[in-house]
Structure 1
Amino acid sequence: MSEQRTRPVIYAVWLIIASVIGWFAAFQLTMDKFIQLANPEADLSCNVSVMIQCGKNLGSWQGEVFGFPNPILGIAGWMAPLFVGVALLAGARFPRWFWATFGAGVTLAFVFVCWLIGQSLYASNLGVLCPWCMLTWSVTIPTFFATMLHLTRNGTFTRNEKVQARANSLMAWVPLATVLAYAFIILLVQLRGLDLLGEVIGMIF
């Protein structure tokens, strides 16, 4: 389904909503990082419990993979989907190279989030869940699914009209795919929790 024949309103609105949520989470993490730098012993608002907190993540090497706090990536990066969403609602049309670049950026964000999820659950120096990070995960995952399908239906990935039409029909399944992805992450969390419990019991007995 050519983008020239239809304006992707729902997709555009989602990009705006996801950007606002993602940017807010990144901003909150950045503020907590500033507080942590000023006072390493500060009780951060995101530190809910031993297992749910952002302080440990922010203070780890995984929290600044590129030499600066990861939230800065979010503050800058979420501006792109916000711009695209607003522009689409205004009727803007983007060339194929633009969509390809945008898709690459969303894909990199998704891969980075998957890596961070794995680090949060399985890295020996972490083993905690960050509330603001999870909020970021919750919008990055559906944004990736929706963007890949949109780039298929608008002709970025293929000119085959049947494939484009199929991708357009699959957009309705993005919410279900997102719920299944959330369920998979929850399952990993539960299994990791059982592993940790088993290790504790083993240490005791």
Structure 2
Amino acid sequence: MSQTRRRGTELENAILAASWTTLLESGYQDLTFEAVAQAAQTGKAAIYRRWKTKEDLILATLHFQNERDRLLIAETGSLRGDVLSLLRNMNRRYTKILPALFSVLLASYFNQSQLTPAQVREYVLGDRPVLMDAIIERALGRGEIHRLPPRRVIELPYALLRHEFLMNLAPTSDDVVVEMVDTIFMPIISSY
């Protein structure tokens, strides 16, 4: 029985999924077009037609994986509950991306690609709305806060969780997530 040849989006998705798996299993240094082609059961030419460099392939892979594992925000009925739900979901997600992220960071990806972490984040996330913006809008609608806080305050929960993640190289305990929300974020946001 002959296998149907994959084309277009189906082939691209197979390549990006194989690239993600290769990145997790082998790390940045050992991620090659040859290894990805073998894992995707396709030829190297199919990869080279889409991505000119390893860095381009990695960016596309990170974007693809982010889209496959998109975060959702729960409507809990309170600002505190919404932020806790978002941070807990992010924390679970960090467990999945931790090996790939540090494989990329520790392998000098940013030096080779001349991109900053902020530029990679922007590329991976695209122009979709920031989830904390929706949470803040709901809190305004419920009267939990009375004016729009500055951008840095809105992004504070992300920054706190990212800091824990980067300093410990591991997911954060739920007790620490609750402490960040209750003792840092909620006292600051309640002044708005």
* TM-score (ref. length: structure 1): 0.32
Report 1 or 2 for greater relative contact order, CA contacts < 8 Å, sequence distance ≥ 6. Answer: 1
* TM-score (ref. length: structure 2): 0.33
